[in-house]
Chain A
Amino acid sequence: MEKIKSNSDHEHGYGLYVLVWLALVTLTGLTAAVAGINFGKLSIVVALLIAIVKSYLVLTEFMHLKTEERTFRIFIFVALFFILISLTLLFTDYSFYTR
């Protein structure tokens, strides 16, 4: 029989999860507080940057992507690349359209 593979070689303590949660809640507070300030066009950039950092934390820590096989990390880039390239190409129309 093949060796049973699992994540168990990377034990996560409870403490790390609680720390990540604290960071996530802090970032949520930050994004809500910052929303009151008007950065103009930069507002959405700031909001999205914070959201990206939060998702990164969830992905790497809660979803164990950090200790997962490398293939999985390549996979996620494939999915994100598809969304981003679709968005970019979509805006080759909407940024310049004259309908």
Chain B
Amino acid sequence: MASETLSINHNGYHESYLEYQGKHKGIWGWLLTTDHKRIGVLYMISILSFFAVGVTLGFLIRLELLTPQGTIVGPQAYNEFFTVHGVIMIFLFIIPVISAIFGNFFLPILIGAKDVAFPRINLLSWYLYLTGGALVLLAIVLPGGAPDTGWTFYIPYSVRTSTNLIITLVAAFILGMSSILTGLNFISTIHRMRAEGMSWFKMPLFAWSLYATSWIQVIATPIVGITLVMVIVERVFHVGIFDPTLGGDPILYQHLFWIYSHPAVYIIILPAMGVISEIVPVFSQRTIFGYKFIAFSSIAIAVFGSLVWAHHMFSTGISDTAEFVFSLLTFLVAIPSAIKVFNWIATLYKGSILLEPPLLYALAFIFLFTIGGLTGIIQGAISLDIYLTDTYFIVAHFHYTMFGGTGFGFFAALHYWFPKMFGRQYNKKIAKIAFWFVFIGFNTLYFPMFILGWMGMPRRSYHYLPQFQPLHVLSTVGSWILITGLIIMFTNLFRSLLKGGKITKKNIWGGETLEWQIETPPTFENFEFEPKVFEAPYEYKQNEIEKEEVK
């Protein structure tokens, strides 16, 4: 094997995937690539572009809310802003961000494979993603106006609105297809392409979390796909399935929408949890505490997460029995989530901590996600939820879990794997400065929303009562700090791509998983030899020392 692969190279050694020239040259070598690493980079470029659009809209929403009456735009534009902000941030950013970028790039490497199971389908799902994204943008610029229903497209307004809703629904459907194809690719990869010796319980935890995520993607996404298609059918043919004037039940739409969209929350958060499970042991140089518990809690979250959807509907008039059942099941999801948090903390305990930028983001993840999770329990209790539903409390809650969770998980992954992906090191000092801006800005932006919600400020409202203004101003100032931090962070990373110090060291953080045993940046073939795995993924020297002490 080795002698064969060596002769592929022009200079006697493996070429980096960034320089590899295959059948297609130049830009086509990227646009027609089936290499999982290049597809990961393609996703990174496109997802970050949409993220920039989403952030801009969020910035404008906060700017509008600076004063109780109109500030910069009218109410219709405001509705369109928060709808498109939601659609972009959820379907184009937060759902694919970690699994599509880092899952594609690192899953095959982590399990010792050459590529994903179906490389061409992998490229297809990137094109589907791009098509969906383009349609979302098209719906904004076409005459008729951007959709103004909110990202949930609730019936009956979504049947009545005259805005470009159909294009957005088609976009969401196509993005769902992209998500399904990525999911089935990852499941097949994990089942069939693990390296010799890589048994299920020697897999890195990021692979476990992607496995659970992929199952939700394959199983739950089609439900929202067909539901959104039915909204289109309803608008075009008036079949009556969802239209209450023809006998349809609008609440049924909400049921079906959340059968997917609640599990989607776990599609979003599980990969981030996987990232944290990778980073925490590396930067405390200890084996992960409770490996099997973390692995199985990913599966448990995927299972329980599929059974709790109606907690989004406590105030819609669903039956008392349903409210009771769904409230109970909701509380159960807290258990596997807490298992993970406790295990991460136990891993950090007595570790030799290296406070590098990835760990900073990971710690922020644990802190912010815990706040997000605990406020979720508050809303899982029906008596409180009836009072808090549709207020800023829920806005704060899901920004803490989605952005504070997955957003920070993404930043952590970015700072952890970026040097490996591009062979360049960023400026760590600037990265830490950026972190504090992002962290402080985030809390200044979203924490006041908990208080606003508790005081009764309704979400999605264009006007508000004057007594809410001080907290709104504080929140808007927070958005400025956060965006400043994001600009510093991404400028630092981008600058390092061009001018950062080149690194060729294989293992810059002292990680024990397979990606740290290959070249930096990885070669086109990933592994020089077919890897054989003998050890569990997180065997550190620290453990040896501890074992000695016990003796």
Contact B322 A93 (CB under 8 A): yes
| A85 contacts B307, C-beta separation under 8 Å | yes
Contacts A/B (CB < 8 Å), 18 sampled: A71-B191, A82-B220, A85-B306, A86-B223, A86-B259, A86-B306, A89-B309, A89-B322, A92-B326, A93-B255, A93-B319, A95-B321, A96-B321, A96-B322, A97-B317, A97-B319, A98-B319, A99-B251
| B191: A residues at CB distance < 8 A | 71
Q: In this complex, what residue of B is CB-closest to A92?
A: B322
- A99 CB, min distance to chain B CBs, angstroms: 5
A78 in contact with B317 given A92-B322, A93-B310 (CB within 8 Å): no
In the complex, the answer to whether A90 meets B319 with C-beta atoms within 8 Å is no
Q: Contact flags (1/0) for A60-97 with B, using CB distance below 8 Å? A: 00000000000100000011001001100110111111
A79: chain B residues within 8 A (beta carbon): 219
Given A78-B219, A82-B219, A86-B259, are A92 and B307 neighbors across the interface (CB < 8 Å)? no
Are B307 and A96 closer than 8 Å at their CB atoms? no
What chain A residues lie within 8 Å of B322 (beta carbons)? Answer: 89, 92-93, 96-97
Query: Is B318 close to A, CB under 8 A?
Result: yes
Is the Cβ of A96 less than 8 Å from the Cβ of B255?
no
Residues of B within 8 A of A90 (CB): 255
**A contact set with B: CB distance below 8 Å:** 71, 78-79, 82, 85-86, 89-90, 92-99
Which 6 A-B pairs give the minimum distances between C-beta atoms? A96-B319, A93-B322, A97-B319, A92-B322, A96-B321, A93-B318
In the bound complex, how far is the Cα of B220 from the Cα of A30, in angstroms?
35
Main secondary structure of the interface of A (DSSP, over half): helix
Mark B317-357 against chain A: 1 for CB-CB distance below 8 A, else 0.
Answer: 11111100110000000000000000000000000000000
Q: How far does the alpha carbon of A90 sit from the alpha carbon of B253 in the complex, in Å? A: 12
Report the separation of the CA atoms of residues A86 and B257 in the bound assembly, to the nearest whole angstrom.
12
Query: Quick check: B215 and A78 within 8 Å, CB to CB?
Result: yes
Output the least CB separation between B144 and chain A (Å).
33
Are B307 and A89 in touch, CB under 8 angstroms?
yes
Please give 14 more A-B residue pairs, beta carbons under 8 A apart, in addition to A92-B321, A99-B317: A79-B219, A82-B219, A82-B220, A85-B306, A86-B223, A86-B306, A92-B322, A93-B310, A93-B321, A95-B319, A95-B321, A97-B318, A97-B319, A99-B251
Q: How far does the alpha carbon of A99 sit from the alpha carbon of B250 in the complex, in Å?
A: 11
A92 with B255, Cβ < 8 A, contacts A78-B215, A97-B317, A97-B319 known? no
The reply to whether B325 and A92 form a contact with Cβ atoms under 8 Å apart is yes
Task: Select A92's contact among B215, B219, B317, B319, beta carbons within 8 Å.
Answer: B319
* Alpha-carbon distance A94/B317, docked complex (angstroms): 11
Task: Give the docked Cα–Cα distance between A98 and B321 (Å).
Answer: 11
Nearest A residue (CB) for B220: A82
**Cα(A96)–Cα(B326), bound, Å:** 14
Q: Which of B317, B320, B322 has the most CB of A within 10 A?
A: B322
* A86 / chain B contacts, CB cutoff of 8 Å: 223, 259, 306
Chain B positions within 8 Å of A89 at CB level = 307, 309-310, 322, 325-326
Contacts of B310 in A (CB 8 A): 89, 93
Neighbouring B residues of A85 by C-beta, 8 Å: 306-307
Most buried by A among B220, B223, B307, B319: B319
Instruction: Give CA–CA (A98, B320) in the complex, Å.
Output: 9
**How far, in Å, is B280 (CB) from chain A's closest CB?**
30
Task: Collect the chain A residues with CB atoms within 8 Å of residue B326's CB.
Answer: 89, 92
Per the bound structure, the CA–CA distance linking A96 and B325 in Å amounts to 12
Q: Which residues from A are CB-within-8-Å of B319?
A: 92-98
